[in-house]
Chain A
Amino acid sequence: MTQLLLFNVTNGLIIGAFYVLMALGLSLILNLSSVINFAHGGFLVIGGYIAYTITPYLGFWGALLVAPPLTAIVGLVVERVLIRPLYGRDPLYSLLLTFGLAFMIEDGTRFIWGAQGKPVTIPPYLSESLSNDLFFITGYRLFMVAMVIVTVALLFVLLRYTRLGIRIRAGTLDLETVAALGINVQRLRSLNFAVGIFLAGLSGVLAAGQLGLEPTMGTGLLMPSFIAIIVGGIGSLPGTLAGGLLIGVASGLTAVFFPAASEAVIYVLMAVVLLIRPRGLFGEEGMMS
């Protein structure tokens, strides 16, 4: 029983770490540009398939290094061509556009790489279990969690100490003043979008090594990321972090006792949080209205 519990909590934490990466990217874009990026899962899939394509040439480590920046470049182009004309218009339009884009990406990847799942080979020393008792803790899973921790730490350093990060945070609070101070808001939005998509691409590569690749995998990860943001509190990145881990562990734990509800439980969690604390766990008052 203890082992089962441990197994599912670990699973939950690892899945939660995925949600965190996805949700942080979504959250960055939402906070600065008021764009709900429905195509975020699509970018995750693009990152994964880019990694799949270049692994034969550069190996897993090369793919891990190259695929996320390439995904971010795709994101930059999309932002420049499709999303930039929509800033300042009703958020409805960017929502609809990214919604359509998600369709196109899913269908496009199916067209290029086929509907069948694709495996991404990871180095053999990463796929071994660390011990017999804790068979479920493979090197790769530990590595994934370590990657997520490093990435999140880097992101917080970026936001806290670099000029770009400070501008992003300032823009989140009051974009007009930031623009009045002479900062190029368009470029700020583009860079911020690229950072968000970079995170999606990275989660794509990591997810590909663990789960294999399918054109539909992004859609499945999108909704939990939304909920991570709502539970953590819209507008708060630490909240998104906590929210992602929380719903991961919650669905892991539910899988032990009531497997059928392991997906539904995150929605219940969201409803409870919104009832008791409408702004979310870490949300600022008024941020959501």
Chain B
Amino acid sequence: MSSAQTRNLIVLAGIWAVLLLAPYWMAPLGGYTALATRVLVLGLAAMSLNFLLGFTGVLSFGHAAWFGLGAYGAGLTLKFLALSTPLALVAGILLGGICGGLLGLLIVRRRGVYFAMVTIAFGQVFYYIAFQWSSLTGGDDGLRGFSRQPLDFGLFKIDILSEPNNFYYFVLFCFALAVGIMGFVLRSPFGRTMIAIRENERRSRFLGIPVERHIWIAFTMSCFFMGFAGALYALVNNFADPRGLHYSQSGDFVMMAVMGGMRSFWGPLLGAAVFVVLQDYLSSITVNWMSFVGLLFVLVVLFFPRGLLGFLQRSRA
């Protein structure tokens, strides 16, 4: 085993150890388990976006739509269809993924800024639907009146509603599942092709790769993951609201990915952690937190365009 591989293994073990022990080290540092759960869910969303943004090089600025649809899918299922957490998650994944996949067919030929613009505009379509269709979604007030259900394994039940640690480990399990699939896809020949498209689209085309189809598949997979994150988010809050679909939420996700480091697999999780903790802190000390978040965007773009991990790797090299 080469030294690089060994180092990667150690880093990986370190990341999982930190995540597994989060409920135990968060509290002494002044955090709380629910904050860790939120970081995990938003981190999964940022990683899902980065699956497309960082590894295929396609800039979607409307990904909050799939996140929000996932949340509504889970919430509506729990409220109207069945009192089952796994079923709610599946419904959220399907709603976000299928809507995203269908829309992807319309926009997959666009590139660069134009892709970004069309995804923003279409994302807003879903925002307006959630906002206007009050009889189903609760409109501006959001969807209330549902809560996550205990996990029923037949022989025993796990209470994830009132036990924050149980819920954290449930979310961590889901996170691991999604991230595992993502990592597996990125290591597969398909994942290598995605990176080839990112690096040089024209050359990939000359090599006979059906670029549009690959981008569509990557986009759709990313939407499914996004729906998963959204469904988990609905379970975190026992609430879903239209702002989760708004383009400013998309901007936050892109920011998390960029701030952590778009070119690295784990970067967006780090970005999400910094972003969530910072926002939590800023909104508790000042009413002008929007200015500071805006300033953060400006500073990261101007001075840390490679993100925290990119910055660290570079200064080590």
Contacts and interface: CB of A to CB of B under 8 A. Distances in A.
Interface string B123-134: 011001100100
B302 A36 contact: no
Contacts of A93: 301, 305
Nearest to A26: B117
A270 B254 contact: no
A35 B113 CA distance: 8
A104 B294 contact: yes
A96 B288 contact: no
Interface residues of B, number: 41
Contacts of A97: 297-298, 301-302
Given A34-B112, A34-B113, A96-B254, A263 B294 contact: no
Given A34-B112, A103-B290, A226-B121, A267 B258 contact: no
A178 to B, nearest CB: 19
Contact of A223 (B61, B111, B124): B124
Given A34-B112, A91-B59, A103 B294 contact: yes
Interface in B48-91: 53, 59, 61
A267 B121 contact: yes
Interface stretch (A57-65, A200-208, A271-279): A271-279
Contacts of B61: 95
A261 B255 contact: no
Contacts of B297: 96-97, 99-101, 103
Contacts of B288: 107, 111
B116 A91 contact: yes
Nearest to A99: B251
Residue among A91, A101, A103, A268 with max Cβ neighbours from chain B (10 Å): A103
B185 interface: no
A229 B302 CA distance: 28
Contacts of B117: 36, 226, 229-230, 234
Given A96-B254, A103-B290, A107-B291, A86 B301 contact: yes
B172 interface: no
Contacts, number: 119
Residue among B61, B121, B254 with max Cβ neighbours from chain A (10 Å): B121
Contacts of B109: 278, 288-289
A56 B287 CA distance: 30
Contact of A264 (B118, B129, B300): B129
Contact of A96 (B118, B120, B132, B251): B251
A245 to B, nearest CB: 18
B125 A264 contact: yes
Interface majority SS (helix, strand, loop, mixed), chain A? helix
Contacts of A114: none
Interface in B246-276: 247-248, 251, 254-255, 258
B296 interface: yes
A289 B114 contact: yes
B14 to A, nearest CB: 29
Contacts of A96: 251, 254-255, 258, 297, 300-301
Contacts of A106: 290
Interface in B189-236: none
B293 interface: yes
A107 to B, nearest CB: 4
Contacts of B128: 263-264, 267
A79 to B, nearest CB: 14
A261 B305 contact: no
A270 B305 contact: no
Contacts of A274: 106-107, 118
B301 A100 contact: yes
Nearest to B129: A264
A187 interface: no
B169 interface: no
A94 B254 CA distance: 12
Contacts of B59: 90-92, 95
Contacts of B107: 274
Contacts of A102: 294
B295 interface: yes
Given A91-B113, A91-B116, A260 B132 contact: yes
Contacts of B129: 264
Contact of B291 (A85, A108, A230, A271): A108
A227 interface: yes
Interface of A: 30, 34-36, 82, 85-86, 89-97, 99-104, 106-108, 111, 223, 226-227, 229-230, 234, 260-261, 263-264, 267-268, 270-271, 274-275, 278, 288-289
Instruction: Rank and list the top 6 A-B pairs by shortest CB-CB distance, nearest first.
Output: A100-B297, A103-B294, A104-B294, A107-B290, A100-B294, A107-B291
17 contacts: A36-B117, A85-B302, A89-B305, A91-B116, A100-B301, A102-B294, A107-B288, A107-B290, A263-B132, A264-B132, A267-B125, A268-B125, A271-B106, A274-B107, A275-B106, A288-B114, A289-B111
